[in-house]
Amino acid sequence: MGMSSEDKGLQEQWLRVSNTLKTEIGETAFENWVRPIKAFDVRNSEVRLAVPSRFMRDWVVANYIDRLKDLWTRENNVVNSVDVIIQPSLKNQPHVSREYNNIDKKNDLDAKVVVKSDQKEKATPPHISDSQISAPLDGRFKFDQFVVGKPNEFAYAAARRVAQASSVFFNPLFLYGGVGLGKTHLMNAIAWEILERDPARTVMYLSAEKFMYRFVRALREKNTVDFKEQFRSVDVLMIDDVQFIGGRDATQEEFFHTFNALVDQGRQIILSADKSPSDLEGVEERLKSRLNCGLVADIHATTYELRLAILETKAEKMKLEVPRNVVEFLAHRITSNVRELEGALNRVAAHTQLVGRDLTLETTQDILHDLLRSNDRKVTIEEIQKSVAEHFNIRISDMHSARRARSVARPRQVAMYLSKQLTSRSLPEIGRKFGGRDHTTVMHAVKKVDELCDHDNSFAEDVDLLKRMLEG
Ligand code: ADP
Ligand code: MG
């Protein structure tokens, strides 16, 4: 069968559109979701794309349809809409990935569940019927209690979007960040908001550990069918701290299937972890790539401004008058995470109320002396410069000077390297402390010292010695 010129044009347009999309969504998502799509035909001003299953169609429509339309309109301004149709015969085409076929088989197995959930839609409002599995939500963790700043604004916006959406946009939403930065808070807030908007929806929130525990118990009691049913009948499944699933193969396998089954049915999944999907240890590649297919949002370490804002908000809520210098002091000194910051404020509040002391900078330092000491042990860039200068026998001022002789340039690089290693300062901040150098200079220094350490044993020893001295 020959190709009409119209069809040839269509295929060429699809090639360009899909290539652009590939650069935007990445290789994995492309292989999973876009590669199996066929450009079917153009009718009037609508392009029709064909996919092998309903599941695929739902996914493509939920995730890519707007972008596809935009790209296509740019290719061919006659086109003003893109539709996705189902063509089961595409299943047997060689370009459909194996992984994808597996999902499809699952789809059939889960047909029963789909029917059940459709019936459920209006009849029952049992969102807490799953409460023996779902952890109770924390009443303090709502959106209005969450202070938004640069480090968390993206995660916050994503969480809000998912909470407010009436259809599934990103699946899963994957939140990640270090401890105490608000992941659990955001997940709870999403659950609260979803239930406030529609109490009939079933939301299940639990830790990955609990998920594993339930699974292992179900295995022991030979009751995995019920286990599966419980998870697969929710509208929104949230699993907190999924890094704990790493390495446990059976649980991971079950998680993967539960995950796929829920996605199949258009249910929302929200996950959190302390690392990005790609960095999760002991997690299978296929699961990683599936996790990467939704929206991945990270919460960065707090900034001074965010810590200030959080302290002010919390103090206000506690109806606690905190002098400005105390707030600033705490924001400066308790930098590890929000949980510690909160803890410090609570301690100061409790203490001053119980003992009836005035809340001053002095009492704060007094009350928090142990906490501050542990935050104290951090080395400053100035100390590093001083020790390195002494060690190499150069003047401290040479740390800031423009001199480029190797006898001063090398020690300067070592000091930059150690500043990067031992402090939490950013590259630009470090550059500034070294006579206003550019961050790329610091980056270069870090790389250079790493290289030298690899090739020169005595140099490596010097650096190591300095490091230990500064840390100790
Ligand atoms: P994670 O789950 O990331 O370890 P949590 O969500 O448990 O962290 O947060 C730790 C504590 O800090 C909680 O009490 C939470 O309410 C609080 N917290 C974290 N981030 C914020 C924020 N941006 N605004 C207000 N409180 C926050
Ligand atoms: Mg948490």
Are the beta carbons of 292 and 277 closer than 8 angstroms? yes
Predicted pLDDT of residue 127: 38
Burial of 154 per CB tally in 10 Å (0-12, 13-18, 19+): middle
438 pLDDT exceeds 70?
Answer: yes
DSSP per-residue letters across 143-179: GGGPPP-GGGHHHHHHHHHHHH-SS--SSSEEEEEST
CA 407 to chain centre: 44
| Ligand 1 residue neighbourhood (C-beta within 6 Å) | 141, 145-147, 152, 177, 179-185, 310, 338-339, 342
Task: Give the pair of three-digit tokens for residue 101.
Answer: 């076929």
Q: Full-prediction pTM beyond 0.85?
A: no
Categorize the per-residue pLDDT at 472 as very low, low, confident or very high, splitting at 50, 70 and 90.
low
408 pLDDT exceeds 50?
Answer: yes
Predicted pLDDT of residue 55: 64
Burial profile 271-292: b = 16 or more Cβ within 10 angstroms, e = fewer: bbbbbbbeebeebeeebbbbbb
Cα(185) to ligand 1 centroid in Å equals 5
- Cα(393)–Cα(389) distance, integer angstroms: 6
What percent of the chain clears pLDDT 70, i.e. is strictly above it?
A: 87
Report the nearest-CA residue for atom 18 of ligand 1: 182
Dihedral sign, Cα of residue 143, residue 145, residue 147, residue 152? negative
Task: Give the pair of three-digit tokens for residue 102.
Answer: 């597996």
The SS3 call for residue 85 is: strand
Protein residues within 5 Å, CB atom, of ion ligand 2: 183-184
Most confident of 51-55, 124-128, 378-382, 448-452: 448-452
Predicted pLDDT of residue 376: 56
Q: If phi over 0 gives left and psi between -120 and 50 gives alpha, with beta otherwise, what is residue 342?
A: alpha
Are the beta carbons of 149 and 305 closer than 8 angstroms? yes
Dihedral sign, Cα of residue 27, residue 33, residue 34, residue 36? positive
370 pLDDT exceeds 50?
Answer: yes
- Cα(80)–Cα(90) distance, integer angstroms: 25
The SS3 call for residue 317 is: helix
CA distances from 328 to 44, 201, 303, 332, 379 (A): 64, 43, 12, 6, 20
Report the nearest-CA residue for atom 13 of ligand 1: 339
Task: Give the pair of three-digit tokens for residue 124.
Answer: 């029952």
Poorest-pLDDT segment among 107-121, 184-198, 370-384: 107-121
Report the nearest-CA residue for atom 26 of ligand 1: 146
What is the pLDDT averaged over residues 49-53?
85
Domains of the chain with CATH codes: 5-90 (3.30.300.180), 107-299 (3.40.50.300), 304-375 (1.10.8.60), 381-471 (1.10.1750.10)
CA distances from 38 to 66, 291, 441, 466 (A): 17, 25, 49, 61
What is the pLDDT averaged over residues 313-335?
90
Poorest-pLDDT segment among 69-73, 248-252, 387-391, 412-416: 248-252
Which ligand sits nearest to residue 182's alpha carbon? 1
- Cα(73)–Cα(44) distance, integer angstroms: 13
Average pLDDT, the chain: 83
Poorest-pLDDT segment among 152-161, 233-242, 304-313: 233-242
Torsion of CA 384, 387, 392, 395, to 10 degrees: 90
What percent of the chain clears pLDDT 90, i.e. is strictly above it?
A: 44
